[in-house]
C-alpha cells in the first residue's frame, strides 16, 4: 500500500495490527504494549486533538509506526503540538491517505502481518517485502525488557508513608494504572521487569501488580520464575501481559490470536456474576483454557466476541488477573472497580 508520509523519515519493521477505538490515539501510540507494532487506526480522522504530554501513557511514542486514512490539523485547546510533530520528534514513521478499511479486512481475514513501513523512499517494494518476510517478528522475543524502567522509582502519591505499598513489576506499565493505584490510597513502587521475587519481597509490599506489556509472554521465563516465587506470599493482580504471565506461572500455556484484540469496545462476561462489561483491550496472545488445571485456577471472565479467556483467579493463593485493561486510557471505565477488589484482597491478608 502507498500513502503520504506524515511522520519521521525512517524505515521501520513491525507487525501490522488494527485498533477500532474512535478516540484516544495519543494514549494508544504511547502505550508500551504497542512496541514492535505498526498500528492501523480504523477511525478515519486522526490528529484532530493534537498531542499533549498529559494524555501520554509513557514517556514517548512506543508504536513502531502508525497508519491512517487522514491526518488532520488539531483543533483542541489542550494540544501542545501536532501529532505529526510528535511522530517526527520521536523518530516514528507514519502514513496517511491509506484505504484503512481494506487493510483492516485483510488483517482480519489473513491475520497479523509483518511489514516494513518505508518513508525514506530508499527501498523498493520487492526489497521491502523481502525484509518483512525475513524479520524475526514478535514471537519468542522479549520486548518487555526494552520498555521497562531501567531502575526502580516511586510514583508520585498523596498517600502518607504509612499507606500500604504496592510493588509494580513493570513489563510496560501504563501511567493511568499507576494513577489509579495512587488514587486508591496506595504508595506505589515501580520495579524493573527482571526484579527477582526475593527483591520484591524485601520491600514488604501489601500487594504486587503484574503490569501490561508487549509481545510474547512465553519469552519472559525470568518473569514467570519471579511470579512463582511470589505466589502464596503476597497478593497478586495481573493486567494484560501480567494476566498471561500469571497463567504461565500457574502451569498454563499461551497462544497467539489470529489478529489480536485492539480497541475500546470489547464485551467481556464475568462468569461469576453474569454481568457484561465493555472493555479496552490490546493483546495478541491469550491463555489457553485447556492448559489450566481447574484445581489450580478458575476462569472468571471470557470474551463475548470469540470466547477467549479474559480473566482468571488462583484457587488456593491470593492471585487474580484480567486480560483486558481496567485502567482504560483510552476506553470505557466500567472495570475500574477491580482495583477495589485488589485492595480488599490485601485487606484480607490474602
Catalytic residue numbers, as ranges = 240, 325, 327
Q: How far is Cα 342 from Cα 327, in angstroms, rounded to an integer?
A: 13
**Cα–Cα separations (whole angstroms), residue 139 to 218, 219, 229, 240, 285:** 9, 8, 25, 16, 10
Omega within 30 of 0 (cis) for the link into 330: yes
295-329 in b/e form (b: 16+ CB < 10 A) is: eebebbbbbeeeebbbbbbbeebbbbbbbbbbbbb
Element (H, E) at 146: helix 144-147
- What's the CA gap between 271 and 302, in Å, rounded? 7
The dihedrals phi and psi of 25, each to the nearest 5 degrees, come to -60, -30
**What distance in Å separates the CA atoms of residue 235 and residue 349, rounded to the nearest whole number?**
8
Distances (CA, A) of 273 to 88, 277, 298, 307, 320: 47, 11, 14, 17, 16
- The C-alpha atoms of residue 325 and residue 261 are separated, in whole angstroms, by 11
Q: Under DSSP, is residue 84 helix (H, G, I), strand (E, B) or coil?
A: helix
Return the half-sphere exposure (C-beta side, CA atoms, 13 A cut-off) of residue 281: 30
Q: CB neighbours of 307 closer than 8 A, spacing ≥ 6? A: none
Contacting residues for 244 by C-beta, under 8 A, at least 6 apart = 217, 238, 254, 283, 285, 286, 287, 323
Reference 288, options 346, 350, 243; nearest CA is 243
Contact 40, 108 (CB under 8 A): no
Amino acid at each position: 500500500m502507498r500513502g503520504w508520509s506524515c511522520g519521521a523519515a525512517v524505515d521501520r519493521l513491525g507487525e501490522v495490527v488494527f485498533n477500532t477505538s474512535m478516540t484516544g490515539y495519543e494514549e494508544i501510540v504511547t502505550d508500551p504494549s504497542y512496541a514492535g507494532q505498526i498500528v492501523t487506526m480504523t477511525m478515519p480522522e486522526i490528529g484532530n486533538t493534537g498531542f499533549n504530554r498529559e494524555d501520554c501513557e509513557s514517556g514517548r511514542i512506543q508504536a513502531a509506526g502508525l497508519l491512517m486514512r487522514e491526518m488532520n490539523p488539531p483543533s483542541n485547546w489542550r494540544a501542545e503540538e501536532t501529532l505529526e510533530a510528535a511522530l517526527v520528534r520521536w523518530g516514528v514513521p507514519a502514513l496517511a491517505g491509506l484505504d484503512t478499511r481494506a487493510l483492516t479486512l485483510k488483517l482480519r481475514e489473513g491475520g497479523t502481518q509483518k511489514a516494513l513501513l518505508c518513508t525514506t523512499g530508499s527501498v523498493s517494494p520487492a526489497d521491502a517485502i523481502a525484509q518483512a518476510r525475513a524479520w524475526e517478528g514478535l514471537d519468542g522475543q522479549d520486548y518487555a525488557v526494552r520498555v521497562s524502567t531501567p531502575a526502580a522509582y516511586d510514583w508520585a502519591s498523596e498517600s502518607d508513608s504509612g499507606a500500604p505499598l504496592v510493588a509494580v513489576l513493570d513489563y510496560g506499565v501504563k501511567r493511568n494504572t499507576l494513577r489509579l493505584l495512587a488514587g486508591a490510597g496506595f504508595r506505589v513502587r515501580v520495579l524493573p521487569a527482571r526484579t527477582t521475587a526475593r527483591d520484591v519481597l524485601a520491600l514488604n509490599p501489601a500487594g504486587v501488580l503484574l503490569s501490561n506489556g508487549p509481545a510474547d509472554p512465553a519469552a519472559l521465563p525470568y518473569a514467570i520464575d519471579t511470579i512463582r516465587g511470589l505466589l502464596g506470599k503476597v497478593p497478586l493482580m495481573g493486567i494484560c501481559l501480567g494476566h498471561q504471565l500469571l497463567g504461565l506461572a500457574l502451569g498454563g500455556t499461551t497462544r497467539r490470536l489470529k489478529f489480536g484484540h485492539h480497541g475500546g469496545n470489547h464485551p467481556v462476561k464475568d462468569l461469576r456474576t453474569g454481568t457484561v462489561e465493555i472493555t479496552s483491550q490490546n493483546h495478541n496472545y491469550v491463555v489457553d483454557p485447556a492448559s489450566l488445571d481447574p484445581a489450580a485456577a478458575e476462569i472468571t471472565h471470557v470474551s463475548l466476541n470469540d470466547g477467549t479467556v479474559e480473566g482468571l483467579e488462583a484457587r488456593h493463593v491470593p492471585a487474580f488477573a484480567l486480560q483486558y485493561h481496567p485502567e482504560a486510557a483510552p476506553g470505557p471505565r466500567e472495570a475500574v472497580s477491580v482495583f477495589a477488589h485488589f485492595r480488599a484482597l490485601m485487606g484480607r491478608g490474602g
